[in-house]
Amino acid sequence: MTTIFERVEAALGTISPAVNYAAAPYKGTLPNAFITHQLINSPAEQHADGEETERSYTVQLSLWDKAGIPSTTSVDAAMKAAGFHKGDVRQLPQDPQTHHYGLAVEFVYIESQE
């Protein structure tokens, strides 16, 4: 069964031109532009006959770019194609050391047990 992390990385892997991405926190030297992903919560949403039938996964993608506020266009398209729904978007404080601009974007994936 595909995990939510594999699902996110598969989606980000389809972006062209390729982007740097990793599970948060990003290790090693920070590229000029990169994306981190993190599972925020994953509550069970529905039960039937004592069995879980639906669970939602909220994933935060943090887009970082030294050139300015990152664009979400290609990420939105890739995540939508992978079955995610876009949620809240929030600008993050600019990193005072690296000068990366940041944007946090939430995506929700609903997994149903058929």
Partner 1 sequence: MRGELTFKGLTEWMEQLAEAGENIDDAVTELLGETQPFIAEELVSQLQKTSEEYTGETASTIQVSGVQQEGNYLFVEATVGGSDAPQATYKEYGTTRQEAEPFVRPTFRGHRLKNKLKEGMKAIMQRFGL
Contacts 24+ apart (CB under 8 A), 43-46: 45/110
- The 25-64 site mask, x for binding partner 1 (CB under 8 A), equals xx---x-----x-x-xx-x--------------x-x-x-x
Q: How far is the CB of 21 from partner 1 (least distance, A)?
A: 13
Nearest by Cα to 13 from 31, 35, 30: 35
Q: How far is the C-alpha of 29 from the C-alpha of 97, rounded, in Å?
A: 13
Residues that bind partner 1 (CB under 8 A): 24-26, 30, 36, 38, 40-41, 43, 58, 60, 62, 64, 90, 92-93, 95, 98, 100, 102, 104
